[in-house]
């Protein structure tokens, strides 16, 4: 089974392709400087490096380039994109709703959109990566892994700020904890 893991950000998309259950990294890389004239793909496979300087307008185009590279006859590690069984997505903010990884459906997407107010620089690009992967890999399982999920069990005394309680109730302002995927 081959799993593609995506971390779509505002100016970059990072990826790893794993063979499971061995946890073997088949390829990894990133597209950086998205939206600039000096965008570049860096792709690492079998101890080799392949770079492509190109203009990438958005996350959608970055995903297209990544998938094309994974099946490229010279530098790819897949014969066809259908070899990918599932896609995992790093999502920064899951609010109080998500305390674990979840299979992505319309309800999950709506919640990620809702939490964009709490992570405006991160959740929208995360969503763009999800939508791009759904378009290019439409019948594959897509899973969201939330940075905030790891910290979901911190006690209320630790996550409440010394602010009027109404701000927590109305806007969800509290300490959520981040980089939980790295901690886990």
Residues identified as active-site: 147
Q: Which residue in the block uniquely carries the two structure tokens 């893991």?
A: 5
156 phi, psi to nearest 5 deg: -55, -40
Alpha helices in the chain (DSSP H): 59-70, 106-114, 123-136, 156-159, 165-171, 180-183
CB 125 within 8 A of CB 59: yes
Q: Coil, helix or strand for 168?
A: helix
CB 31 within 8 A of CB 66: yes
Partners of 32 in the beta sheet? 12, 40
């Amino acid at each position: 089974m081959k799993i593609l893991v995506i971390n779509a950000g505002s100016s970059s998309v990072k990826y790893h392709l794993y063979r499971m259950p061995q946890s073997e990294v088949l390829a990894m890389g990133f597209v950086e400087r998205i939206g600039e004239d000096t965008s570049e793909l860096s792709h690492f496979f079998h101890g080799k490096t392949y770079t492509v300087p190109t203009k990438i307008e958005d996350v959608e185009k970055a995903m297209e380039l990544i998938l094309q590279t994974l099946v490229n006859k010279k530098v790819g590690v897949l014969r066809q994109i259908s070899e990918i069984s599932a896609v995992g997505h790093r999502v920064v903010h899951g609010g109080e709703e998500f305390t674990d990884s979840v299979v992505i459906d319309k309800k999950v997407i709506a919640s990620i959109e809702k939490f964009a107010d709490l992570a405006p620089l991160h959740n929208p690009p995360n969503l763009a990566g999800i939508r791009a992967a759904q378009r290019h890999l439409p019948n594959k399982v897509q899973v969201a892994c939330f940075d905030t999920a790891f910290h979901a069990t911190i006690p209320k005394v630790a996550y409440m700020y010394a602010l009027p309680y109404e701000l927590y109730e109305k806007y969800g302002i509290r300490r959520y904890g981040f980089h939980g995927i790295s901690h886990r």
